[in-house]
Amino acid sequence: MGPKFKLLRVIFLMILVISCEKDSVKDIADEPTNDALKEAYQQVIDQKEQPASADVIKNNTKKVYVHYMPWFYNPEQDGYWGQHWTMTNKNPNVIDANGKREIASHYYPLIGPYSSNDDDLQEYHLLLMKLSGIDGVIFDWYSSRDVNDYNALKKSTESFIKEIEEVGLEFAIMYEDKTAQYSTEQSETNSSIDNVVLDLQYIQNTYFTSDNYIKINDSELLFLFGPNYITDPLVWDNIIPQLNTTPYFMSLWEASDRLGQYAGGEYSWVDANHMTTLSNYYQYSVENDIQTVGSAYPGFNDFYYEGGWRTNTNDDWIIAHNGTQVLNETLSLNASSPVEFIQLITWNDFGEGTMIEPTDEFGFSYLEEIQSYTGVDYTYDDLQLPYRLYLLRKEHKNDKRLQTILDRVYQFIFMLDLDHAKVLLSTLEKKYDI
């Protein structure tokens, strides 16, 4: 063997060793990745019950709930576009050059127009709430009867309850008594009063039974949007005894006298005069010793005229969002007022422009502002986790094995084991080149 051949052999062996070392490093790097996915998959398969959610630690102990509209529908989930995306003149099947659908709103949800009945959507919204320090959901609820779209809204609300319980949030119902009048006007055999009784009994038997239903002084909390139809307290004296238990009623501001002996407290709302009205009301509630729920909102800019739901501009008014300024103002006012807790108005009323869920226009900024108020340790990066989970769910909706792994990501997030959730999401995004 000549010197040149020996030298070539040594060089070849060195290259081989280096190559093997690189492969070894690659294998070591890949192995935990593959093992993590396999383990996550197997953990879900072997589960006999859903793991328990973890409680969020907040420096601000004041409860924060968010008003929620369960009234959105799309063809993929429901077979049609719901009226809150279309109003009378918008067609979401029309897509512009930027890929946005035409919807009845000045603002656009980050994930596009969705269905309230979509499990992936519910997961996304509820996890975002939890990581923002929001304690629960107040559902906009109309009736137990199949009139107008009331039955669809009722079913959408109920589709959330299982996941609310899994994620570890609370919930309550806001009932609009005026719907009983609408039901009666549409040739129902019951009187309006009977319809209210039936609605309240339905709420009691269907929602109060959940361990996650919000209570005050051991009584279930029930919001009334008004009451605006039954305004005589003597009528409520006949209605409430027909329930098994007496709820803790919260009426709209300056309307508790309509409930008489059953008045529990009041909640504030959004008004054209904004901070002046809100400040004056809080002063009024103190002077009259009224237990009050504070409100916070990001702005107001409805689409009703443009969408054909209003025929004139006489009632137009806007509270300019100014980034997060309005939300910050209303949150700060609550901090200096003796409110029982805070209702964020709203999570997703796109028609009125009061939404705080992530949008193209405002990103996650509203939720970051709420994180700051509630005093949680979570950040913008943590808020990205439910969003990344949602994107993977939709991108690979027919991959059953991947969906099972994503079930584990969902669990890790509501268990607040965010490090494991990040590892799995990053691994899957790399694997699928996302």
Summarize pLDDT for 301-335 with one digit per residue, the tens.
Answer: 999 999 999 998 887 899 999 999 999 999 999 98
For residues 237 and 335, give the distance between their C-alpha atoms in angstroms, rounded to a whole number: 35
Give, rounded to a whole angstrom, the gap between the first and last alpha carbons of the chain: 53
Judge whether residue 17 has pLDDT over 50: no
Q: What is the pLDDT of residue 33?
A: 61
For residues 268 and 295, give the distance between their C-alpha atoms in angstroms, rounded to a whole number: 6
Q: Tokens for 71? A: 């009234």
CA distances from 365 to 115, 180, 320, 349 (A): 23, 39, 16, 17
Q: What is the pLDDT of residue 32?
A: 45
Q: What is the pLDDT of residue 189?
A: 66
User: In 149-257, where do the E strands start and end?
Assistant: 170-175, 215-216, 219-224, 248-252
Whether omega before 227 lies within 30 degrees of 0, making that bond cis, reads yes
- From 195, 188, 225, select the one nearest 67 (Cα to Cα): 225
What one-letter code names the amino acid at 233? P
Phi, psi of 114, deg, nearest 5: -120, 180
Phi, psi of 140, deg, nearest 5: -70, 120
The sign one gets for the Cα dihedral 318, 321, 322, 327 is: positive
Judge whether residue 14 has pLDDT over 60: no
For residues 55 and 135, give the distance between their C-alpha atoms in angstroms, rounded to a whole number: 10
- From 156, 173, 179, 162, select the one nearest 71 (Cα to Cα): 156
Domains of the chain with CATH codes: 3-48+392-431 (no CATH), 64-378 (3.20.20.80)
Long-range contacts of 307-310 (CB under 8 A, 24+ apart): 307/86, 307/87, 307/88, 307/89, 307/90, 307/104, 307/351, 308/87, 308/88, 308/89, 309/87, 309/88, 309/351
Q: What is the pLDDT of residue 178?
A: 87
Judge whether residue 20 has pLDDT over 70: no
Phi, psi of 252, deg, nearest 5: -65, 155
pLDDT tens per residue, range 75-94? 999 999 999 999 999 999 99
For all residues of the chain together, what is the average pLDDT? 91
CA distances from 330 to 73, 82, 174, 291, 420 (A): 31, 31, 21, 18, 36
**For helices 400-414 and 119-132, angle between their N-to-C axes, nearest 10 degrees:** 20
Q: Give the model's confidence band at 434: pLDDT under 50 very low, under 70 low, under 90 confident, else very high.
A: low
Q: What is the pLDDT of residue 190?
A: 77
Other C-beta atoms lying within 10 Å of the C-beta of residue 27: 10
Judge whether residue 11 has pLDDT over 50: no
Judge whether residue 241 has pLDDT over 70: yes
For residues 171 and 155, give the distance between their C-alpha atoms in angstroms, rounded to a whole number: 15
Q: Could you please report the per-residue DSSP string of 298-334?
A: S-B---TTTTTS-S-STT---B--TTTHHHHHHHHHH
pLDDT tens per residue, range 182-213? 777 776 667 888 989 999 999 999 999 999 99
Phi, psi of 433, deg, nearest 5: 55, 50
